[in-house]
Amino acid sequence: MYPTAVHEAYRAELAAIREKGIFKEERYLHSPQAADIKVEYPCGAPLKEVINLCSNNYLGLSSHPAVVAAAHEALDARGYGMSSVRFICGTQDLHKQLERKLTEFLGTEDTILFPSCMDANGGVFEAVLNDQDVMIADRLVHASIVDGMRLCKAMQDTFKHADMKHLEQKLQEHQDKRVRLIITDGVFSMDGDLAPLDQMCALAEKYNALVFVDDSHSTGFMGKTGRGTHEHCGVFGKIDIITTTLGKALGGASGGCVSGRKEIVELCRQRARPYLFSNAVPPPIAGAALKVLEILNETTERRDKLEANTKFWRQALPEAGFVIKDGDSPIVPIMLFNAKLSQDVSRDLYQEGIYAVGFFFPVVAAGQARIRTQMSADHNIPMLTRAVEALKKVGAKHGILGLDKKGIIEKFGQ
Ligand SMILES: *Cc1c(COP(=O)(O)O)cnc(C)c1O
């Protein structure tokens, strides 16, 4: 019988989500992922060409002709799918090549591919830690790390975001454990700030701990040659476990990996459940990812352009009268503090041809609502100049230009 009381209860839950204003609506792209896209929003509305400020396509490689061609080539040479997990009959030469190239790029000893970074984080902790160990995580780590930790029997603890004093205290507290694993994101996706990896590595040495970094928002462009946060922070080659995604800067399709000490990677091959029980990365993705790494090894042109765009953007926004979060990464949050204001500004920006999404509680802390903007190597200065003009127009409409945090909160509430 349908609907039953259960379905009614689900409907009520959905209605409550809508009522709270946190129902997630999807926008339909009618074009490839790029700096300028054609969007249908809301569903059924006429298509609109907008400047995209909210993808993770940091290097502009998602639709790059050479990457697309490499995917075609692998598709022709090695087929569409593997119809197997890696350890039964799902490992191709392409997978092994890609693991080797990622190892070289990240400066580690070995690498194991996963269907996604979510899966890498879901499998790695359980594979290498047991109930004699402790995981000490930054309080703002990505949801997939939180889930991975939940699947693991090691004790869980946290330290205040990027607070090295607090981390040190925790390391002292847990000296009786077999393994102390410090866990952090490299670049934090909501604030765009970086983990102080140099200090973390120093603490790890002092207290005999291991360091885990999820560098999904960093691999390919942070650091002089784009290796990641570890290169940026001067600790290249010193991180015990790096997880990262192929789904952002590295072509943006899907796939992730755990990279690090060879014993750790080997244990993941033996025990990590998303590796053992989920399908191998499809050949076109492996082939395209190899091409991406080839491009990045040949030239730093794209990460250099991304850096220049980021510099322009981080200077232009405060000059235009907005409050941003300082930092070095291409993630640049425009702080609005008030949830409704963030939604209103996002909607008005869309009308002006700018696609940027507003985030508010529970995605970010209460009272910390914002528009998150992200730079790409695919943007250019004329495009970004147009975006700043649109932001100024919308900012003026809401009377927020030149207001600091206090001013905005006085006017709109938190
Ligand atoms: C995006 C992201 C992931 C998930 O990556 P997928 O490959 O899409 O599963 C994991 N961790 C962090 C920090 C991320 O930003």
CATH number of the domain bearing residue 402: 3.90.1150.10
Together in a domain, 357 and 386: yes
Q: What pLDDT does residue 130 have?
A: 98
Q: What pLDDT does residue 388 have?
A: 98
Q: What is the pLDDT of residues 379-407, one digit of tens each?
A: 999 999 999 999 999 999 999 999 999 99
> Span 343-370, mean pLDDT?
94
Residue 7 lies in a domain: no
Together in a domain, 335 and 220: no
> Span 372-379, mean pLDDT?
98
Q: What is the DSSP string of 48-97?
A: EEEEE-S-S-TTS-TT-HHHHHHHHHHHHHH-S---S-IIIII--HHHHH
Q: What pLDDT does residue 22 have?
A: 79
The b/e string for 174-189 (b: 16+ C-beta within 10 A; e otherwise) is beebebbbbbbbbbbb
> Span 283-311, mean pLDDT?
98
**How does the average pLDDT of the chain come out, rounded?**
97
pLDDT above 80: residue 60:
yes
Task: Decide which of 254, 273, 298 is a domain's last residue.
Answer: 298
Spatial contact of 251 and 62, defined as CB atoms under 8 Å apart:
yes
Q: What is the pLDDT of residues 68-103, one digit of tens each?
A: 999 999 999 999 999 999 999 999 999 999 999 999
Task: Decide which of 298, 333, 358 is a domain's last residue.
Answer: 298
Cβ(214) – ligand 1 distance below 6 Å: yes
Q: What is the pLDDT of residues 214-249, one digit of tens each?
A: 999 999 999 999 999 999 999 999 999 999 999 999
Pocket test for ligand 1, best of 140, 142, 285 (most atoms within 8 A of CB): 142
CATH of the domain at 232: 3.40.640.10
Residue 8 lies in a domain: no
pLDDT band at 25 (very low <50, low <70, confident <90, very high): confident
Q: What pLDDT does residue 23 have?
A: 85
> Span 197-208, mean pLDDT?
98
How far does residue 256's CA lie from ligand 1's centre (Å)? Answer: 8
Cβ(253) – ligand 1 distance below 6 Å: no
Q: What pLDDT does residue 24 have?
A: 86
Q: What pLDDT does residue 275 have?
A: 98
Spatial contact of 123 and 273, defined as CB atoms under 8 Å apart:
yes
CB proximity list for 120: less than 8 A, separation 6 or greater: 114, 243, 244, 256, 257, 258, 272, 274
Together in a domain, 155 and 224: yes
Q: What pLDDT does residue 227 have?
A: 98
**Residues forming beta bridges with residue 136, ordered by sequence position:** 157, 182
Pocket test for ligand 1, best of 114, 144, 212, 242 (most atoms within 8 A of CB): 144
Task: Decide which of 250, 270, 298 is a domain's last residue.
Answer: 298
Cβ(329) – ligand 1 distance below 6 Å: no
Q: Is 397 a catalytic residue?
A: no
Together in a domain, 292 and 308: no
Residue 232 region by backbone torsions, left for phi larger than 0, else alpha for psi between -120 and 50, else beta: alpha
Residue 135 lies in a domain: yes
Q: Exposed, middle or buried, 1 (CB in 10 Å: 0-12/13-18/19+)?
A: exposed
Q: Could you tell me the CA-to-CA distances from 272 to 109, 114, 278 in Å, in that order?
A: 18, 9, 10
How far does residue 9's CA lie from ligand 1's centre (Å)? Answer: 32
Cβ(140) – ligand 1 distance below 6 Å: no
CA quadruple 64, 68, 69, 74: dihedral positive or negative?
Answer: positive
Residue with tokens 């009377």: 399
Together in a domain, 293 and 308: no
What is the helix (H) or strand (E) element at residue 334, kind and residue range? strand 331-337
Together in a domain, 239 and 287: yes
Range of the domain at 331: 21-52+300-412
pLDDT above 80: residue 354:
yes
Q: Is 189 a catalytic residue?
A: yes
Spatial contact of 39 and 353, defined as CB atoms under 8 Å apart:
no
Residue 138 lies in a domain: yes
The b/e string for 302-331 (b: 16+ C-beta within 10 A; e otherwise) is bbebbbebbebbbebbeebebbbbebbbbb
pLDDT above 80: residue 21:
no
CB proximity list for 389: less than 8 A, separation 6 or greater: none
- Which of 232, 248, 305, 379 does the annotation list as catalytic? 248
Q: How many domains does the chain have?
A: 2
CB proximity list for 337: less than 8 A, separation 6 or greater: 367, 368, 369, 370, 405, 408, 409, 412, 414
Cβ(215) – ligand 1 distance below 6 Å: no
Q: Is 248 a catalytic residue?
A: yes
E strands, 143-301, are 155-159, 180-185, 210-214, 241-245, 256-260
Cβ(144) – ligand 1 distance below 6 Å: yes
Together in a domain, 220 and 313: no
> Span 353-364, mean pLDDT?
93
> Span 291-301, mean pLDDT?
98
Residue 80 lies in a domain: yes
